[in-house]
Chain A
């Protein structure tokens, strides 16, 4: 975090700070920033989802609150949900019930730390960045299972069991699809991955070789499943399991799940951009004057793609979902790993 550190040094009292104090200040500022970004993206994407759904379904979506296309609707909903009664079912396991939404939120929030928004602008510049992101986002599964079990509701238990099976399974193709890129880069550091894609659209990893092209789509499908959104929204399946694992949740606790869902959605979209779609580089070389903005625009486009799919396709059945993962996606992604390796060797890039 060189940029932020320089900024702090310029403040009054900045130059006198010790290394440790500097480090702590840095982390606190970044953590706050990430949390705000996350809350903001939940609010913006709720509104966006409703407008996109409205557009696809030939209706308007929210139009009143805040005058212009109901932009304040999501804010109003958040305020309303704050005022809701917090109900914990009498037979629920209270400790787990209370803790589960926090864990789900934590899982998504932690992953943001290793995220390179712009050159040099990353909360935690880890050498194992990509690995770290996948590792902490697995925490979500535990929170989900906890919520389903603690609710003491059969539908919630069904949702949790399905969700755990699905998310644990889909993490494998999700990570496998990224491995070819790591092979090309020779690093798991998130910044290195983006830097390796410099120089226009043809240098983005998606277009480097045919195996990476396939790997991108595998990643995309797995990411939809990983965020539990349609057509893979098994843990919720409102037409089968009422509302899945968060059936019994109300008020702010429900909002946490909601927040986590949209934060996760943005996260996987941003990872797709970071790993395959050139990160902060613009499609045309030399036009990189606003790296963070480029990054976010690409991410929002990916989110839009996600929403488009959700509102168009029916839902797959739970066994078909597992079939798709274990018998189709994992072999194909493995093939991509091998194929990309061979391609690298033949094109003389091995060991680069």
Chain B
């Protein structure tokens, strides 16, 4: 039952004193099969009409024991499982894992490989953010931006297919480099053309169609406000944390790979349309991050060095000296942490993943209370969760 402090709006559930009428809260199962829960998320709601009194996320519908599987396969064979964490930005997940592996192996990586990694990871980030915008718009009832964003994402998938051979799941990075070099068929030129098109035209389209639409602002501004304290308490990272006005990004504040070489800004929520940390801020951070990612890609491609793309001849199995390593990297959803313990064999002793969506989702319990069911849909959309990453 809702406590007194949770009752923001007073509805019929308070009026038990009406003679002959007994009212109670309505238990509502939102999901696991529901169009707005972005996968198999199940939200257990207690509602009083349109007002939500309690929201409990129920997880585990997509659990695949990926961490346990890691203990049974070789280090290199596990890259393919990281693809399936955040399946909307697999390159970022690959990058997170190989960074941790290289720290553990004390492996140097050729500079060309790092550049390629950054380019594909940022392309993946753009693709993921495009999906975030698209589905957030869809949650708000705007169908058309969905199709537009998917059209642009398709271009990215084509580009990544040309470099890695896979459309959705790439298995592209390996500890010590990348699997294939950049193809010789004008790939670099096509990437540059694409990001120029995105920067100059498409982002304006999205802004006109969705971001600055009056109805969209009404729906998202001042809704689902995450204060800075809440964001810290619940361990929010990525656009959710930055939407609350905190300028923190692993790429700049705890640089890995070669991100320190490039010049880019960290967009933060400004409360332009309402309060700092509302749904609109989180949404807008993503739109602006697309432009920043384009900047990084352009710099990485302009300064692309010649040379090797793998540090050593790829072997079937990797053997790692005993030890442990933890790294954190910035994926499109937030901070991915990999903690790998090696006992000197061919398989890790333990491989623990800290996934950003898991932490970001928890804050829903706090911000969802006292809001309307429609707002809850907006909040879930603005947190941009991926169930593959939450349940692993």
Q: A residues near B, CB below 8 A?
A: 53, 56-59, 154, 158, 161, 230-231, 233, 237-240, 242, 311-320
Contact = CB atoms under 8 A, between A and B. Distances in A.
Given A58-B147, A315-B215, A237 B50 contact: no
A319 B374 CA distance: 10
B218 interface: yes
A98 B372 CA distance: 32
Contacts of B141: 230-231, 233, 237, 239, 313-315
6 contacts: A154-B26, A158-B50, A237-B141, A237-B374, A239-B377, A314-B216
B147 A59 contact: yes
Nearest to A316: B215
A211 B267 CA distance: 47
B373 A313 contact: no
Contacts of B70: none
A57 B138 contact: no
**Top-7 shortest CB links A-B:** A315-B141, A57-B147, A314-B142, A314-B140, A239-B36, A317-B374, A314-B216
B143 A311 contact: yes
A211 to B, nearest CB: 24
B284 to A, nearest CB: 15
Interface residues of B, number: 30
A317 B373 CA distance: 10
Interface in B88-147: 137-144, 147
B372 to A, nearest CB: 7
A342 to B, nearest CB: 31
A149 B35 CA distance: 22
B372 A315 contact: no
B219 interface: yes
B35 A238 contact: yes
B26 A314 contact: no
Interface residue SS majority, chain A = loop
Contact of B372 (A58, A314, A318): A318
A326 B196 CA distance: 47
Contacts of A161: 49
Contacts of A313: 141-142, 213, 215
B234 interface: no
Contacts of A318: 50, 372, 374
A54 to B, nearest CB: 9
Contacts of A317: 218-219, 372, 374-375
B151 interface: yes
Contact of B139 (A239, A311, A312): A239
Given A239-B139, A314-B210, A317-B372, A56 B144 contact: yes
Contacts of A231: 141, 215
Contacts of A154: 26, 28
A57 B36 CA distance: 21
B219 A57 contact: no
B162 interface: no
Given A58-B148, A314-B210, A314-B213, A320 B35 contact: no
Nearest to A154: B28
Contact of A311 (B140, B144, B375): B144
A50 to B, nearest CB: 12
Nearest to B375: A317
Contacts of A242: 34-35
Contacts of B209: 312
A313 B373 CA distance: 20
Contact of A158 (B143, B144, B213, B373): B373
B121 to A, nearest CB: 28
Contact of A57 (B148, B210, B215, B218): B148
A312 B28 CA distance: 31
Nearest to A319: B372
A315 B147 CA distance: 17
Contacts of A57: 143-144, 147-148
Contacts of B372: 317-319
Given A314-B210, A314-B219, 9 more contacts: A58-B151, A231-B141, A231-B215, A239-B140, A240-B373, A312-B142, A315-B215, A316-B219, A319-B372
B391 to A, nearest CB: 22
Contacts of B377: 239-240
Contact of B218 (A158, A230, A240, A316): A316
Given A57-B144, A58-B147, A239-B36, A319 B50 contact: yes
A56 B139 CA distance: 19
B224 to A, nearest CB: 13
Nearest to A157: B26
Nearest to B49: A161
Nearest to B137: A314
Contacts of A311: 143-144
